[in-house]
Amino acid sequence: MDFNIKVWRQSSPKAIGRFETYFLSVISPDISFVEMMDNLNKQLSDYKQDVIAFDHDCREGICGACSLYINGYAHGPDSEVTTCQLYMRMFRDGSTITVEPWRSRGFPIIKDLVVDRQAFDKILQAGGFVSVDTGGAPDANTIPIAKIDADKSLDASSCIGCGACVAACKNGSAMLFIAARTSALSFLPQGSIERAARAKAMVKKMDELGFGTCCNTGACALVCPKKISIEHIARLNRDFLLFT
C-alpha cells in the first residue's frame, strides 16, 4: 500500500507549526499505524531529515501514550482502539492521511505530535485518591461489595488517560476522564466517603488548567478506546452538587 502522510510539524512549543506531506510506499496493510510512523521516521532518517516526534510506549492499547488525531478522528477511523491498535488496512490505498496532535489548551504542544499531558496528573493529584484510613488489605477484603458496584468500578477504572475525550470535545473538556476516575473510587465503600469533596477538587483543578466545560454531545464517549460511558459524567455532576 502507498500513502501520502500529511503530518503536523512544530519544532518547539512557541514555534509556528505547519503541515508537511511525505510519500510512503510498500506499506503492509497488517502493520499498525504506529509501526507505519516508525517506517516513515526511518525513511526521513535515511535522507538525513528530522524525524517526527510522537509518543508511544506499550503498543498494546494499555498506556494511551500513542494518542494521535488521524483524519479528523481521535485514534483514527476505527472504533474502540488506540492508535497502536489501528491497522493500515483501515485506509484506502493511495489516500492521504492527515496526522495531528491533540488540539487542546490543556495539552500544549511540545514538538510535532507530542503534547504535554501533565494536566491529567495534576487533576489526579488534586483528588483522585482515597485519603481516609481504611485499614490494611486484610481489612479491606472483609468489606462486602455488591457485584454490580464492583463491576461498575472496574469498568470506570479501565480509563487509560489517553486524552481522546478531550480531543473530541468541542470545548476541550476533561469531564469524562475525571468522571471515570471518580466513579472507580466512589462505587467502593472506602472511596464513597470522600466522593463529594473529590468531585469538587478535581473539577476545580480541571478549570484551573484551561480545560472547557462538558458540552453534552457525547463525542467523548464515542472516541473512548475503553468505552467509558457518559453516565459517569452524570454521576460526577451529582457528586459535585452534593458539595456545593
Instruction: Print burial letters for 48-66: b (CB count within 10 Å at least 16), e (below 16).
Output: eeeebbbbbeebebebbbb
CB neighbour class for 227 (10 Å; exposed up to 12, middle 13-18, buried from 19): exposed
Enter the pTM of the model: 0.92
pLDDT given for residue 134 in this prediction:
74
- Who contacts 193 (Cβ-Cβ below 8 Å, separation ≥6)? 130, 132
Give CA separation, 86 vs 119, 141, 177, in Å. 26, 39, 22
What structural domains and CATH numbers belong to the chain? 3-110 (3.10.20.30), 117-243 (1.10.1060.10)
- Which backbone phi and psi does 111 adopt, to 5 degrees? -165, 135
Asked if residue 49 lies in contact with residue 42, where contact means CB atoms within 8 angstroms, the answer is no
Asked if residue 13 lies in contact with residue 109, where contact means CB atoms within 8 angstroms, the answer is yes
Other C-beta atoms within 10 Å of 123: how many? 25
Distance CA 188, CA 146 (A): 9
Among 47, 73, 78, 49, residue whose Cα is nearest residue 61: 78
59's grid cell: 503498543
Q: Please list the pLDDT of the chain residue by residue as tens digits (244 residues).
A: 999 999 999 999 999 999 999 999 999 999 999 999 999 999 999 999 999 999 999 999 999 999 999 999 999 999 999 999 999 999 999 999 999 999 999 999 999 999 999 999 999 999 999 988 777 777 777 888 899 999 999 999 999 999 999 999 999 999 999 999 999 999 998 899 899 999 999 999 999 999 999 999 999 999 999 999 999 999 999 999 876 5
- Who contacts 217 (Cβ-Cβ below 8 Å, separation ≥6)? 169, 170
Which residues face 4 on adjacent strands? 23, 96
pLDDT given for residue 136 in this prediction:
76
pLDDT given for residue 244 in this prediction:
57
pLDDT given for residue 133 in this prediction:
79
pLDDT given for residue 243 in this prediction:
62
Question: Starting at the edge strand that comes first in sequence, how are the strands of the sheet with 18-24 ordered?
Answer: 18-24, 3-9, 96-100, 69-70, 73-74
- Helices 231-243, 175-186: axis angle to 10 degrees equals 80
- Which backbone phi and psi does 83 adopt, to 5 degrees? -60, -35
